[in-house]
Amino acid sequence: MTRILVIEDEAPIRDEVVDWLLFEGYDVRGVGNGRLGIEAIYQESPDLIICDIAMPEMDGHQVLLEIRSNVNFAHIPFIFLTASADRDSVRKGMNLGADDYLTKPFTHSEVMNAVRSRLDLKLIQEAQWQNRIDMLNSALIEEHEKNRLKTRLVAMFSHDFRNPLALILSSSNIIRNYEQRITTEQKHYHLDRIDGSVTFLVQMLDEMLMLAELESGNLAFAPESLDITDFIEGIVEEFRLIDQQSHKIVFQSTLNHPMQVDPKLLRQITSNLLSNALKYSPPGMNVTVTLIEKDEHIRLVVADQGIGIPKDSLPQLFEPFYRAKNARNASGTGLGLSIVRDCVTRHQGKIEIESEIDKGTRCIVWLPCSVKSKLDDIP
Ligand code: ATP
Ligand code: MG
């Protein structure tokens, strides 16, 4: 309940104001001088104070000075009661930070209007403060997230870059120092190790840069009109070449007109999902890429018949560096899906992953057909 404190030495006036306010449903307390008023403020921290100026022991100006200098009470709305002749007094009070004043004799409606408008203003101010606090909080959380990612990127650099670098170093040492003693087969084995490690390092570096660009918001979102069927079929064809028919990659699409998408981001989405589907399914299995238009969305589904994802890992898949236990035999950094998620979010789309261990995984991406670029928002 809203608490109001009335500080007034003239008992009839004080009682009248207290009664009016009680009748309106406020929780009201009346006291007879400034000193008692300050005590009541410290005890009850009222929502509004109505205070006479000329009073024994401690006058209204002193009361106002005291509460405006205390951070806990400085925001409480303060209304002066004053005799009509007290113009200088009123000016002094307003300069000290009073919110309003009522000149004696005042009517019931004058008091109520002043009280209501001050309380309404207080509510608005509190909502604005809360808004600002919420904005600051979310900015803080966002900054904290970015810092967490940076810390992990640095840790990743120092840890995961060491292994492939050590492999490159050891294989190149063997080739250089034992060139005459190793067989051609062994030499190829070491050269392959060097190639594989360099590819892994380049991939990791590319993914980190992509993720850093996405997370920092530096990557411009640039949708353009694109024949998505052609575009994705092209990516599927690239993967067929890399996969060397180890899997049967099926592509089907019912989309036959151009759509607004960001090609760079769509390439990231498709190639990461396709690379996962191939990497996490045994040779000979089918991988299907399906493209349809439904409910004003493009729906891209990449499905495999591979190792699947443990149920308890599903909620963490989009966290940078997360890799499920059953995936650790295959090489990877755990950054792919977080890049996919960011690219999908940039399109104001969504992604879902359904999976069953040893049965397979389906990644479903929805991208709205009419997606706006930031430039479109500028009038
Ligand atoms: P990279 O950064 O090289 O892509 P990654 O493939 O391990 O590494 P993500 O693509 O982010 O990383 O995938 C995260 C994890 O999700 C994988 O490590 C794997 O555990 C699981 N996962 C993703 N797709 C599949 C899939 N099709 N089948 C089984 N597990 C998958
Ligand atoms: Mg991946």
Question: 332: Cβ below 6 Å to ligand 1?
Answer: yes
Residue 140 inside a domain? The answer is no
pLDDT band at 378 (very low <50, low <70, confident <90, very high): very low
Q: Which residues form the domain of 252?
A: 224-377
Q: Are residues 110 and 194 in the same domain?
A: no
Question: For residue 306, which atom of ligand 1 is closest to its CA?
Answer: 28
Residue 9 has pLDDT above 50, yes or no: yes
- Residue 83, pLDDT > 90, answer no
Same domain, 172 and 266: no
Report pLDDT digits (tens) over 36-48: 999 999 999 999 9
176 and 236 in one domain? no
Report d(CA 227, CA 294) in Å as an integer: 17
Model confidence pLDDT, tens digit, residues 163-194 = 789 889 999 999 999 988 999 999 999 999 99
Question: To 5 degrees, how large is the angle CA 123–CA 125–CA 126?
Answer: 65
Rounded to two decimals, what is the model's pTM? 0.61
**pLDDT value at position 91?**
82
Question: CB-based burial of residue 77 (10 Å sphere; 0-12 exposed, 13-18 middle, 19+ buried)?
Answer: buried
Q: In terms of domains, do 198 and 228 share one?
A: no
Model confidence pLDDT, tens digit, residues 128-151: 999 999 999 999 988 887 787 777
Q: How confident is the model at residue 328 (pLDDT cuts 50, 70, 90)?
A: confident
| Bridging pattern class, strands 27-31 and 3-7 | parallel
Q: How many domains does the chain have?
A: 3
pLDDT at residue 157, as a whole number: 66
Same domain (yes/no): 288, 350: yes
Amino acid letter, residue 300: L
Residues 242, 354 share a domain: yes
Residue range 69-77: average pLDDT?
92
Residue range 206-232: mean pLDDT, rounded: 86
Residues 277 and 359 in one domain: yes
> How far is 78 from 178, CA to CA, in rounded Å?
90
CA atoms within 13 A on the CB side of 269: 30
Do residues 267 and 196 both lie within one domain? no
**30 shares a domain with 99:** yes
Q: How far, in Å, CA of 62 to CA of 369, rounded?
A: 66
What is the Å distance from ligand 1's center to 182 Cα?
37
Tell me whether residue 359 is in a domain: yes
Question: What's the confidence (pLDDT) of residue 372?
Answer: 54
Q: Same structural domain for residues 371 and 229?
A: yes
Q: Are residues 186 and 309 in the same domain?
A: no
Spatial separation of the C-alpha atoms in residues 254 and 289, rounded to whole Å = 12
Same domain, 125 and 180: no
Domain boundary among 129, 153, 186: 129
Residue to mutate, 239, 247, 276, ligand 1, most ligand atoms under 8 Å from C-beta:
276
